[in-house]
């Protein structure tokens, strides 16, 4: 198991986690790199890929609603917590695959994973040193400087909670006009430009902004698109850099 790299896809609801997972898998197929896909979302109705290991084999939100007599929101929380109890079973199933990469699609609402202990247990079981996460910035929220800064706060909470390398990406880049993509990328690389624009909108506390900046939490984004395949090679290169010193597995 030590040889596998686990790439978690993290992001707010609807930010494109499942489609990113699917598109990254297509890219790895194209490169002929052995990989497996794990679905960790017990509430998923539809997935754009065929998971090799699916937590819904053991836990679904519908079953939890019935068994524990809870409503849909409570069932989301209970089932997201229960996935931790299946971490070893997931690893056992993954043993059947000779995969260099394991792509892990996480539950719809990011707080159900990042803020709860299930993420800690799963990362510990998989081996923290083998885990990396791709954090998806929602393109629509990121269009405004204040929205982009809010995404940085959410990214920061994932950095703090998961304690694994994070690759921040601008999701669904094909959806935005080119000048909007450019502006968002500029904010991610030039914190003065971001501070100027966010101040015009909201007057964010300078101290709070400096905290983000000084902690290195405003990081250059990689634009990606599951629709066009843009950026998959860049994400792959960064993961390779982190785990294999840039060596290509192709």
The footprint of ligand GTP on residues 101-120 (CB under 6 A) is: 108
Residue 14 found at the interface with ligand GTP (CB under 6 A)? yes
Among 128, 190, 227, 241, binds ligand GTP (CB under 6 A): 227
Q: How far is the CB of 17 from ligand GTP (least distance, A)?
A: 4
Helices in the chain by DSSP H: which ranges? 17-30, 61-68, 72-82, 87-94, 110-114, 117-126, 145-162, 178-189, 191-201, 206-214, 232-244
The footprint of ligand GTP on residues 158-197 (CB under 6 A) is: 172, 174-175
Residue 225 found at the interface with ligand GTP (CB under 6 A)? yes
Distance separating alpha carbons of residues 146 and 116, to the nearest angstrom: 26
Q: Total binding residues for ligand GTP by CB under 6 A?
A: 16
Q: How far is the CB of 112 from ligand GTP (least distance, A)?
A: 10
Q: How many CB atoms lie within 10 A of CB 153?
A: 11
Angle at CA of residue 146, ends 140 and 151, nearest 5°: 60
3-class state of residue 222 by DSSP: strand
- The DSSP symbol for 97 reads S
C-beta closer to ligand GTP: residue 137 or 195: 137
Residue 15 found at the interface with ligand GTP (CB under 6 A)? yes
Residue 41 found at the interface with ligand GTP (CB under 6 A)? yes
Residues that bind ligand GTP (CB under 6 A): 11, 13-19, 41, 108, 172, 174-175, 225-227
């Amino acid at each position: 198991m030590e040889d596998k790299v686990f790439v978690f896809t993290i992001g707010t609801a609807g930010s494109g986690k499942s489609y990113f997972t699917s598109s990254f898998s297509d890219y790895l197929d194209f490169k002929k790199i052995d990989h497996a896909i794990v679905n960790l979302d017990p509430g998923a109705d539809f997935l754009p890929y065929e998971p090799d290991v699916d937590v819904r084999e053991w836990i679904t939100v519908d079953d939890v609603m019935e068994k524990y007599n809870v409503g849909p929101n409570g069932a989301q929380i209970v089932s997201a917590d229960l996935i931790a109890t299946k971490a070893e079973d997931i690893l056992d199933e993954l043993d059947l695959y000779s995969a260099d990469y394991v792509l892990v699609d996480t539950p719809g609402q990011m707080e159900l994973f990042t803020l709860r202990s299930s993420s800690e247990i799963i990362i510990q079981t998989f081996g923290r040193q083998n885990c990396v996460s791709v954090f998806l910035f929602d393109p629509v929220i990121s269009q405004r400087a204040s929205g982009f800064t809010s995404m940085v706060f959410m990214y920061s909470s994932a950095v703090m909670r998961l304690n694994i390398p994070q690759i921040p990406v601008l999701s669904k880049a094909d959806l935005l006009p080119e000048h909007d993509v450019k502006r968002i990328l500029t904010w991610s690389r030039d914190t003065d430009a971001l501070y100027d624009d966010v101040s015009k909108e909201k007057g964010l506390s300078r101290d709070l902004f400096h905290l983000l900046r000084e902690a290195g939490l405003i990081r250059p984004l990689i634009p990606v698109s599951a629709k066009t395949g843009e950026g998959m090679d860049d994400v792959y290169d960064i993961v390779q850099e982190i785990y294999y010193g840039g060596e290509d597995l192709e």
